[in-house]
Amino acid sequence: MCFVSSYSTTEKLRLLSNYQDSDCSLGVFADYHEVRTANMTKWIKQFSLQDWQD
């Protein structure tokens, strides 16, 4: 499995949107899209905090 080392904001939001629309668990979705589960968890927290700060 090959993980991308850096994701643009657009890529992060696209992945999170697709995850939100899926019926998969976070781990299954991350594995399928070759993204580290820890990264997706971090992005969810990051973008959730931005909503509260704006």
Residue 9 lies in a domain: no
Residue 2 lies inside a defined structural domain of this protein? no
Q: What is the pLDDT of residue 48?
A: 86
Residue 6 lies in a domain: no
Q: What pLDDT was estimated at residue 39?
A: 95
Is the pLDDT at 2 greater than 70, yes or no?
no
Tell me the whole-structure pTM to 2 decimals: 0.78
Alpha-carbon distances, residue 26 vs 10, 14, 52, 53, 54 (angstroms) = 19, 14, 23, 25, 26
In a domain, 35, yes or no: yes
**33 in a domain, yes or no?**
yes
The number of folded domains in the chain is 1
Encode pLDDT of 13-51 as tens digits: 999 999 999 999 999 999 999 999 999 999 999 988 776
Q: Is residue 19 part of a domain?
A: no
C-beta separation of 38 from 7 below 8 A: no
Question: Residue 39 belongs to what domain range?
Answer: 24-49
Residue 36 has a pLDDT of: 94
Residue type, 51: D
Does residue 15 form part of some domain? no
Q: Is residue 18 part of a domain?
A: no
What confidence score (pLDDT) does residue 15 get? 96
